[in-house]
Structure 1
Amino acid sequence: MARRTERPVTRQKSHGPSTAAACEACRRLKMRCIRPTASDGSHASTESCERCKRNNRTCAVPPQRPLGRRPGAVGRYQGLQKASRRMQAELRKARVSTNSTHEVANMSSGDGEALDHLLSIIQNSDSNGEDTSSNQPTEAKTPAEQVQPPPMTATRVSDTYIPTPHASREPVSNPLALLADASDAAPPSPPIEPGQGEPSPGPGIGWRLLHQPGYISLELNLSRDSLETGLDALFGPSREPYRLQYFRPADTSPPRDVGPDLDPVELALISMEEAYTLFPIYFARLHPFNGILDPMLHTADYVRSQSALLFTWILALTAQFDQGSAGIAKRLRLHGEKLSRHVHTCGYKSVEIVQGYYISLLSATPARTLSEERSWLYTMYAVGVASELGLDQVSRLHHDPSATYPYSASGDVTNNAVPRQSLAPGPANPVIGKPHGDASAYHSTEDPTYLQRLARNRERTWLRILLWERANSAACGRMNAFPETELTRNIESWWMHPLADSTDKHTCAFILLRCHLASLHVELRRQAAVPHTDANWASRLINTSLEPWLKTWLPPLDAGLPHCERLPTVHLYHVYIHNRLWTLSFALHASINGNRDISAIQMDCFEAAVHCCEVAVHDLRTFGEPLYCMLAPTWAMISYAAVLALKLFPHVHGSRPRYQIELLALLGQVALQLERAGTTPSHRLGIAALLGQHLLRILRAKAAGLGDAFPVAESTEMPFETRAHDPMVSTYNPLLTTVAMGTQGDLTGDGFADLLGELFGPGEIY
């Protein structure tokens, strides 16, 4: 005994090698912690590591823990408790073995009684200890009442399954959902046991069941042997299971694109003070055109806690349109492009990710070359995520604010409805619904108003991403049908909700316009195959079909309203005239293929294209920089109208070059306005500038025939006097970046059509 006490205790003296301990941030990231060495050569430096210095955060090094086991440490369980737990562990191992059922079922009664006796002794000793401490009497329980072992056979599992009315809320027309529900409700099959796989002599159970009267015949054209084989498979031994978790429901809290390696604030790309400054600018300038967010919900703290992709792209695009944010615009844009690739590669799925892709696609900077454009890839991914999350379903929260999950109009729960618990403030989302400048305000997850805002946020996201995808599909002439859901069928009154945003009215107008265009597209295709006595049948049909929508959603503008209040309506009118031009061009294409007289349709298309160009020049000169936030499809359609007018002019007014002087003057002004819109502020390069450059090259090639009478200047720069007195003109010269944008080569012919085709898909430009 004396020898045991003299044994030295080595725990306090055992130290690891003299290496630098990693800080908490590096341990969490599982990255190497690089810290400068102290002056005495040791690693006990008090300076921050390189990663913490770079991210401007505190470098906390936890104290080292001594190696080895603490002297006198014992296990958690002792005596009979330890022996009982070992026996239970052995029984659990036997249960999952190949012959587990027979081993447990054939356990002798003596072994079972001994185990129950041990368990009763343990629980009685525990209860006695509790009585001693609390001096309260306890009722004596039998071992059967104290220990309720889990069910061991398939029969007992099936007895505990009780279907509920809410066990399956998926519609009957969803095949995979019904299969998943049936898979979850099915009890586990017993495993194969030795000797069970061998066929038994004599007739099987399938033969015996089919020869018993009482079942209903379905008049199947199958042999009796095939039916017997099917029944034998049901009652025979099950095969080795594989991928049993295939239909496992998704996690209620799926991983999000947040963290120190994704957050631009943690990466020191921007500070929260700058973010608080840029968010109001976004909702004042870009939100009237984007219309996918809720200003009362999407505050800087809330968005940051939900998605780094959405948070970064909001800041990046706002910095591009802000005169004083040139220093952070480029690094935020590069970080946003990195996050777009990272989110797509990792497969993150959330409502905020769909919103982040939508915002990034509408006003993003063009890629260096056409081959590097990923807009179509991200569009398809965003639409797929929105469909998988069930954003196209009407939320039941509009009618039942006490509902825990978003429901569809028929009462069916959506596939990935977010429970209230995942919306509560916590470590993952510390601030929800905090208004600008108010760090103490929080939204309660029990607040019906807040839950309805979340429901409308889902519906608004689906409507906007659907509009973006349908517009691109229609522009390339591939798919023109508009999907009809419960949400789109009742869209007329969706914007009248008490919690509706000011942009929701225009969202409804866009959806209804797209629905009218889908039905009009079918009617035009039918009418193009029929001879008409009226040469202007196409324009009359289009005007008659769109006139109700025009009267309802585009009333005459009040000239007394401020420009900021007139901008959404101006943008809506641009979308209307562009879609009318697109519909006329479709009728022209159908008439050309049908060998019809197309002179009248050519005139209608030409006049519509010229009207689009005239309105664009007028509005851009009138409203100036606030209108430069229009979306990428709007700039592309303006360029399309200019190219279409240029190509249709010889068929309408003749091919003499001098006839085109006024048209070239109009289109030249269009090109200048596009270039100016894409380079304001000077640190920004938008798609409008790229389109304006290529349009200007096309016009200069067309004007080459007028060189004798009207020599064309070599420089495309505006006069210095005009630039000096116009604050909207950028000093940035995008023509100096031809290498970066990859615009080498002649785009005066089909190259411009290829450019529009890359933006909207492989469509045809007439």
Structure 2
Amino acid sequence: MALRRLATIPFLPLCAAASLYSSYTFDPLQHLGGVAPYFEPQDPPASPSPPQGCTPSQAAYLVRHAAIFANDYDLDTYLDPFISKWQNHTAIDWSHVPALSFLASWTPPLSDAESELLTRAGKLEATQLGTTLSFRYPGLRLPQRVWTSSAERTYQSAKSLVHGLELDDSTINVVTIFESKEAGANSLTPYSSCPAYRASAGSDQAAVYMARFTKPVRARLNALAPGFDFTAEDVYGMMEMCGYETVIRGSSPFCDLGLFTPDDWLGWEYTADVQYHYNVGYGNDVSGYIGMPWLNATAHLLLSPESSPDGQDIYVSFTHRELPPTVLVASGLFNNSAWGGGTADRINDTMPLDRINYGRAWKSSHVLPFLTNVAIERLNCTGSYGFGDGDYYRVLVNSAPQALPDCNDGPGTSCSRRGFQTYVQDRVDRFSGYSQRCGVKYDNSTDVLNIYTDPAVGNGTRLVAKRSLCKIKCERGKSKDEDDDRCQRCVLLGSDCVRPAFHVGRRKGVKNKRTGLEKALHLVEEAARKSGPEGSEAVQAVSNLKALLGTAAPDTCPRTGALRSSTGASQRPRSAPSGQIHVALLPDQLEHASSSDEEDVFDHGRLEQDFGLLHESNASHASREVAAAEESLAIDDAENPLQLLARASDLHVSPPTASRPEARRASGDTAGPRSRRPSKPDGRMSEVERYFKLSKFSLDVGPDLDPIDLGLVTEDEAESLFGFFHQSLAHTRWGLDPLLYTVSFTRARSAFLLTSIAAAAALFMPAASALSKRLSNHCRTLFERVIAHRYRSVEIVLAFLVNVPWMFPGKHSMEDDTCWSVSLATTMAIDLSLHKTLVSVGELRAGGLGHLSRADCIDPALALSLDGFADVEPGSEAGRRLLRRRERCWIALFVLERGMCLARGRTFTVPITPTLRACDQWHLSDIADTMDGHLVSTAVLRRDLDTLFTSIRALCDGSQEMLADGSAVAISIQMMIEQFFNDWHAKWGISIGIGPQHGLPPYVQILVTHTRLSLYSSVINHPTAPTEVRRFFHSAGLSSALNVMRAAIQGEKQLTSMPNNTAIMISFAACFALRLGGLISGNSSLAPSIRTLIEEAADVLERIGCVTRHRRGMSALYGRYLKCIVRKAASARETPTTTHERPLTTTMTTTTTTTTTTQPAAPFARLDFAVGGATSRGSHAVVTTYADPGTMWSEPMQFSTMSDDQVVETLSRVHEFDGDFHTCPSWNDTAALDWMNWSGMPEFGS
């Protein structure tokens, strides 16, 4: 029996081994590096509980933000490319592909989601961490403050942790630390301020191993789905999708081990480890210097003898993925060389690129998953066996206790107070000198992190760069919380409101200015008084008018106070608060919005500093302007009491001067100042006055609108986007002065404009796909908010203009918001008096302005005041730039609106104002922008186009009435048009041309040539144009249409930011050329050559519309459609002549005097273009006999490579166009875009 038992013993290890092998498990979510959901890897597997006899007395945590939808870099580099590729490979039947069958019904989890914002799982994880900390440290006080960097994802992580820590949200402040590139070490993102740190470090090394580990995976997947052509980036992105989709949806099919094996996942993990090793790990020489400030600052907090009453027991700080690993490097933890894995000098040898080092300590999945946390605890140990009583310190990474290098003289993995002090000093000596090691060049850098002890950042407010402090101001009005008297902004920032206890000027309830009817009567009285000695009868009439109005309807409207005459006690003009000054209004202007004490006026005191100017006191100047303005005031509708009442709130309130005794007697007002004590304003009267006030500026600013405050974009990103816009997009979107519209200025004026500029720039930056989506979505939200809340300012008008060129196409060609935006911008611009000419009151009073009407003028000081810049001197450089921005905005609006109407066949709506009539020299200024010449040249071209149109139409109408010779009329019109464009080129060619030949830039060339084409189409389609005129301009119109497309093809590199209107212009030219090409008789190769040119132009439109993956430009849609109609035109040309067409051709042949061969009818009539004319060909008498065009151009021509002269020479030989001349497409066709009939191409899509 004993032998039998012994015989069974050798088999036990085999059974045990089989059992262990069969229980092998692998979780990919624990090997996903920086995209791994939070887990505690137990590395090393020591207990996180305090050692026996020890209790925590203080702790400090550095936490990475919780799970987000996707990192921008990952989204742009791996996820989006794979998703786009998968969506485009519709021919693959994924349902029959093993391991990938889920792709048949899978939907991407990253649709327009705010990619860098927290997921619901992330918020839950952060809240759970807060709850865990409260349970782990039951004897410690809750923190008063939690610190976080300023990004939205870190801020929301901190807020979520606070929810888990406390029972309510009222005891813990979240302190936001600004993410600056010039903050030195004093921030939670010190890597951003370190020039020596590169975000792309490690990418090259990681790419080497990624190619190695994905090679067999790609081979396997390509065998399953041969048509997809999986790349290394596709494989990496699919595996990354496992982590991101899990934190979004809770699970992901990409995590299935049937798709990727454990070896595949280990290869992915090692690739990430290599990346982070060289980026923020031991492979980067600056890592330790970046992490040391936090380690040193935290050690000082915990080494303090006792926690002070106003100190904290628990310190928690939130940051991004870059900082925690650098702290570990500074601490000497997770070092591959610590246990014989290499030397510090050859640390990179521990991360080979040809194989996995399975014995490495550096594993990114263990040190930086979402919500990774590094903690330092101070333990109070009493009665711990084998150790003395006292303070001990230990470090935990994701709850796993870590053994500090050369500091292990305490229980467990802790070390004594003396040992910890020595350890910290040794690390400081090794990694001190942050600024020097980082190569800092900016001023005011620091090597110390003091945000925990600096009282300036301990009250729950933001720590911002010094230059940004002036931007934070209290808003007027209380917050929504009735128990909180702080403003809404300070509630959001967690700070106290700072407002002056005393406001200079009129105080609420003290009525020392005239309003309403009293104001109107005063103005009438003043006008009568100023009429001179002979105006006594008028003064008496004023007195009678007062009595009449006083008794007319006593119960109709409550009185707001006793009527005052100009002879009362002197009234001092209301003193303006800081940054405000009141100036006289012209009679058709509104009263400035600052008349209300409750108005929030933006502080523009730093505006002068932005231009390097000293802002001088201009009180004396203001008084002179007010006095001068009073002299120029004329009373409109003075004879009409009803009209006068309607204008009462719009007229100027004049500070009275010394009055005449006879005026006092005439008015019957002998009471002194005391007897005219003002009564409290009636609420109903105030409501009426507010109703009748004209529009005023209203800024769309605030933390709920600002994309930077909302975390959609950082300030550094905004600066970069603005720089890109001014450098690369300003040539297609005129209207912005780059010296004025900086991020700081724009942010203070309009969130809509700030977001629009940033979104437009991101649209053309290949690596900004996710950022573009966020900004575009927010831009749309602001668009609706501006309309709903009636915001209005010059900057909002500019925002509309910035949005128009690159709007995404709607569901239909007529459903995009272009026309609506231009209409809104026009209405708002007129409300803000942008259409008025800047003329001072003195100049207006002195006369000499010709036929310039008073109604067309606005005083410069008033214009600044209406925009909220009342404290800016109009004659200063800042004032001149601000005034010029109004003029530039109006001119840019005119140019954009005329271009939109020319492109879309709409009626012009923006009026030609005196400013536009006199703008020819406007670009010649010492403060002009480089693009002002281009703007003015186009404005002049489109302004004078009206006169040319009128002259041409009048000439055609007159020729019909006088039975003039058609050929002579054609020559006259030709000379008129040529003279117009020759004069324009002579004036503007040199100033805006480029190169030695002063050629027009491609964008301007297209605009000018399309304008010429519009003229020709107008002549051809004018009902009274003689037949000879239409025939003559067919060739000229065809030449212009070809030149529009040629300019687009040859200038493609400079047209990558082509606006939508330009794409429509090119498409119109293509349709025009295709139509005329179909009318050419004979067997020439001209029509095929035109179709070839159109296809080339269509290719250009497609490429420009997809210049970035997220562009989705309208031009791509037009390009695709042009290809469709060209193919249909070519196939129609090859269709045999039908029976019913032959008699028509025979008739035409017999009724003309030309020698023509019988050809099929023009196939273009079958393209279903609704162009407002007959689709059948008619008979036309031709005056001159020409050679048969069928003998010309036996070979196709390459128009895109021809010179202008060659094109002219080629088309000059076209003498015969068949068909009805009324069937040409026209820019001003009432059917708008019917020249591109979208219903005629069923194969194009529904």
Using structure 2 for the length normalisation, give the TM-score. Answer: 0.38
Cα pair 1:674 1:688 within 8 Å, conserved? yes
CA RMSD of aligned residues (A): 5.0
Match of 2:894 in 1: 466
Find out whether 1:539 has 2:948 as its counterpart: no
Find out whether 1:325 has 2:771 as its counterpart: no
Residues 329-368 of structure 1 aligned to structure 2 (within 5 Å): 329-368=772-811
Percent pairwise identity? 23
Match of 1:640 in 2: 1068
Change beyond 3 A, Cα 1:539–1:382:
same
Counterpart Cα distance in 2 of 1:580 and 1:318: 31
Counterpart Cα distance in 2 of 1:706 and 1:466: 42
* Offset of residue 497 of structure 1: 1.2
Within the candidate set 1075, 1078, 1100, 1:673 is matched to 1100
Find out whether 1:267 has 2:710 as its counterpart: yes
- What residue identity is the alignment partner of 2:1006? H
Counterpart Cα distance in 2 of 1:631 and 1:333: 16
Match of 1:288 in 2: 731
- What residue identity is the alignment partner of 2:967? T
Listed one character per residue, the Cα deviations across residues 616-639 of structure 1 (whole Å, up to 9, x for unaligned) are 21222xxx1x32223322221111
Counterpart Cα distance in 2 of 1:43 and 1:498: 56
Find out whether 1:418 has 2:864 as its counterpart: yes
Find out whether 1:576 has 2:576 as its counterpart: no
Cα pair 2:737 2:929 within 8 Å, conserved? yes
Match of 2:629 in 1: 166
Listed one character per residue, the Cα deviations across residues 136-194 of structure 1 (whole Å, up to 9, x for unaligned) are xxxxxxxxxxxxxx99643668857999763596788899997655566799xxxxxxx
Match of 2:953 in 1: 525
Change beyond 3 A, Cα 1:547–1:517:
same
Counterpart Cα distance in 2 of 1:272 and 1:417: 30
Cα pair 1:612 1:638 within 8 Å, conserved? yes
Listed one character per residue, the Cα deviations across residues 569-628 of structure 1 (whole Å, up to 9, x for unaligned) are 3322221111000010000110477777632222221222122222221222xxx1x322
Find out whether 1:375 has 2:838 as its counterpart: no
Counterpart Cα distance in 1 of 2:1040 and 2:949: 18
* Offset of residue 458 of structure 1: 0.4
- What residue identity is the alignment partner of 2:1062? T
Listed one character per residue, the Cα deviations across residues 346-384 of structure 1 (whole Å, up to 9, x for unaligned) are 211100000000010022222244464222111111011
Find out whether 1:664 has 2:1119 as its counterpart: no
Cα pair 1:610 1:645 within 8 Å, conserved? yes
Counterpart Cα distance in 1 of 2:1112 and 2:748: 30
Tell me which moved more, 567-576 or 523-532.
567-576
- What residue identity is the alignment partner of 1:419? S
- What residue identity is the alignment partner of 2:689? Q
Counterpart Cα distance in 2 of 1:359 and 1:307: 13
* Offset of residue 484 of structure 1: 3.9
Change beyond 3 A, Cα 1:299–1:164:
closer
Runs of at least 5 residues in structure 2 that lack an aligned partner in the other structure: 1-143, 151-158, 179-316, 321-456, 462-478, 485-508, 510-558, 572-625, 654-683, 844-852, 1137-1165, 1173-1224, 1237-1246
Match of 2:204 in 1: none
* Offset of residue 413 of structure 1: 2.8
Cα pair 1:636 1:688 within 8 Å, conserved? yes
Counterpart Cα distance in 1 of 2:691 and 2:165: 60
- What residue identity is the alignment partner of 1:616? A
Change beyond 3 A, Cα 1:568–1:348:
farther
Rg larger for = 2
Counterpart Cα distance in 1 of 2:690 and 2:1034: 57
Cα pair 2:808 2:1112 within 8 Å, conserved? yes
* Offset of residue 513 of structure 1: 0.7
- What residue identity is the alignment partner of 1:552? K
* Offset of residue 261 of structure 1: 1.5
Of Structure 1 and Structure 2, the greater strand share is in: 2
- What residue identity is the alignment partner of 1:326? S
Residues 34-53 of structure 1 aligned to structure 2 (within 5 Å): 37-38=163-164, 46=172
Counterpart Cα distance in 1 of 2:1121 and 2:874: 55
Match of 1:228 in 2: none
* Offset of residue 545 of structure 1: 2.5
Counterpart Cα distance in 2 of 1:151 and 1:45: 48
* Offset of residue 541 of structure 1: 2.4
- What residue identity is the alignment partner of 2:936? C
- What residue identity is the alignment partner of 1:541? M
Find out whether 1:762 has 2:1218 as its counterpart: no
Listed one character per residue, the Cα deviations across residues 227-255 of structure 1 (whole Å, up to 9, x for unaligned) are xxxxxxxxxxxxx9796415755587x43
- What residue identity is the alignment partner of 1:663? I
Cα pair 2:923 2:932 within 8 Å, conserved? yes
Cα pair 1:357 1:379 within 8 Å, conserved? yes
Listed one character per residue, the Cα deviations across residues 536-590 of structure 1 (whole Å, up to 9, x for unaligned) are 543332112222112111249977579xxx8973322221111000010000110
Listed one character per residue, the Cα deviations across residues 497-517 of structure 1 (whole Å, up to 9, x for unaligned) are 111111111222112111221
Cα pair 1:480 1:518 within 8 Å, conserved? no
Counterpart Cα distance in 2 of 1:619 and 1:595: 36
Counterpart Cα distance in 2 of 1:410 and 1:42: 60
Tell me which moved more, 335-344 or 449-458.
335-344
Cα pair 1:599 1:652 within 8 Å, conserved? no
Residues 62-101 of structure 1 aligned to structure 2 (within 5 Å): none
Of Structure 1 and Structure 2, the greater helix share is in: 1
Change beyond 3 A, Cα 1:627–1:390:
same
Within the candidate set 967, 974, 986, 1:551 is matched to 986
Counterpart Cα distance in 2 of 1:325 and 1:448: 39
Match of 1:693 in 2: 1120
Counterpart Cα distance in 2 of 1:555 and 1:748: 43
Tell me which moved more, 659-668 or 498-507.
659-668
- What residue identity is the alignment partner of 1:675? E
Residues 159-238 of structure 1 aligned to structure 2 (within 5 Å): 166-167=629-630, 181-182=647-648
Within the candidate set 222, 245, 264, 2:689 is matched to 245
Q: Secondary structure at the match of 1:305?
A: helix
Cα pair 1:698 1:749 within 8 Å, conserved? no
Counterpart Cα distance in 2 of 1:304 and 1:693: 39
Counterpart Cα distance in 2 of 1:631 and 1:177: 46
Cα pair 1:312 1:332 within 8 Å, conserved? yes
Cα pair 1:584 1:605 within 8 Å, conserved? yes
Q: Secondary structure at the match of 1:266?
A: coil
Counterpart Cα distance in 1 of 2:802 and 2:788: 19
Change beyond 3 A, Cα 1:185–1:478:
closer
Counterpart Cα distance in 2 of 1:186 and 1:302: 30
- What residue identity is the alignment partner of 1:373? D
Counterpart Cα distance in 1 of 2:1117 and 2:1007: 20
Counterpart Cα distance in 2 of 1:653 and 1:274: 59
* Offset of residue 764 of structure 1: 5.9
Counterpart Cα distance in 2 of 1:66 and 1:474: 57
